[in-house]
Chains A and B, each alone.
Chain A
Amino acid sequence: MKNESIANRSDLSSQNVKTISDFIYDRTGILLGETKRYLIKSRLQNIVKLTGAASFNELCEKVGQETNSQLDVLVIDALTTNETFWFRDNAPFFAMENKLLPYYRERRFDTSFNIWCAACSSGQEPYSLAMLILESGLFNTWDIRITATDISSSMLKKAKSGIFNQLEINRGMPAKYLIKYFEQIDDDQWQVKSHVRQLIQFKKINLHELMPAHWVYDLILCRNVLIYFDLESKKKIFNKLYDCLADDGYLVLGGSESTLGVCDKFDLESIEKAVFYKKPASKSSVT
């Protein structure tokens, strides 16, 4: 009897993989499905424990049944968050440091620089960018505004705190930046200094929904998130990102992502070893 109950608890039926996948797609546009069974199981494991559900299947059957339920929030949160690195993939950061930041410094007619980090997860990307900008020394008298958004409330809360443990710090934070831009809180915890945190505003945004109409950004980073969306959703999101981008502004995607075959509005530019997607307005370019 005991063995049977353990087996039931750890089982997840194909029907319920579909139920959860449909629910997540409907609410966020993110595509899961049978190929993501392992991810679904591993991410929902804590929620099964937390809610005292008898099994994955019992949990899945309750999802999406009530409006704004706590369970739905937990499930969306668990299935839409990803671990991130500091300065993830070196190439776009090298290119930004060497070419793109000087480009913006030269081209802007006023002294504001607006950046949007879409799907910022626990904040490593916007903080990396903020440190890169400060380190460049190009915008010392400028008004730098980085808007960092994510669908997950818990990730945003963590990101906003700017507190990271040693394991998280180890994941790509260069020592010279650690010394300069962090304070050590205790043996295991580090916090981003307040002058860096002040450059970033964190907001909850679902890329699947409408963006605020007034959003215009010089630079948008939307990296390693569109891989979770289907073609139709990608098209819609690329169009939204395009609309939010200033003329001559650049979009940065993850290394395995591209607008090719999905949205033809952007001009592709190879800058050093990275690819950037430009909203064309004039003939000027970085290269």
Chain B
Amino acid sequence: MKILTIDDSRMVRHMIRTILLEQGHDVDEAENGEAALEKIENNQTFDALLLDWEMPKMDGITFLKHVRTNNIVDNSKIIMLTSLNKLSNIQSAIESGADEYIMKPFTPEDIMVKFNATMGIN
């Protein structure tokens, strides 16, 4: 599968890349919502986006609302991956079109379990 990790932390992007590459997935990176949008507008398609919330230029929730409202990545699953851990944050993300939500800090297993469940991989 082709995955886009969108996070302003180089370390988080590296971790996600490493975890998903080990499972045989193809992983691309973007450092904020704006950079991710550029890739999508350049006709790059992704099966899943792992999306941070707090990022410069365009944050995760703005990106999420934009792509879901404009039906830009209808065929992509979006998993929020953020240190915001309030119930209201989770509700807001799911209502805005996120398919899943993972709170930071996370373990590789947390990523794999939720990623696989979201993508229907056993």
A-B interface contact total, Cβ < 8 Å: 51
- Contact indicator A175/B93 (Cβ below 8 Å): yes
Residues of B within 8 A of A91 (CB): 122
Q: Does B35 contact A (CB under 8 A)?
A: no
What is the distance, in angstroms, from A118's C-beta to the closest C-beta of chain B? 22
Q: Does A102 contact B (CB under 8 A)?
A: no
- Contact indicator A169/B103 (Cβ below 8 Å): yes
Residue from B100, B106, B107 within 8 A of A175 (CB atoms): B100
Residues of A within 8 A of B106 (CB): 170
The count of residues in chain B whose C-beta lies closer than 8 Å to any C-beta of chain A is 23
Q: C-beta contact mask, B100-122 vs A, less than 8 Å → 1, else 0?
A: 11110111011001101100011
Which of A90, A91, A170, A187 has the most B CB atoms < 10 Å from its CB?
A170
Residues of A within 8 A of B102 (CB): 170
Q: Does A8 contact B (CB under 8 A)?
A: no
- Contact indicator B109/A184 (Cβ below 8 Å): no
- Contact indicator B100/A174 (Cβ below 8 Å): yes
- Contact indicator A171/B87 (Cβ below 8 Å): no
- Contact indicator A184/B98 (Cβ below 8 Å): no
Q: Does B73 contact A (CB under 8 A)?
A: no
What is the distance, in angstroms, from B40's C-beta to the closest C-beta of chain A? 23
Residues of A within 8 A of B110 (CB): 170-172
User: Which residue of chain B lies nearest to A83 when distances are taken between CB atoms in the complex?
Assistant: B109
Interface residues of B (CB under 8 A from A): 85-87, 90-91, 93-94, 98, 100-103, 105-107, 109-110, 113-114, 116-117, 121-122
Q: A94-B122, A178-B87 are in contact. List 5 more A-B contacts (CB 8 A).
A: A87-B117, A171-B110, A172-B113, A175-B94, A175-B98
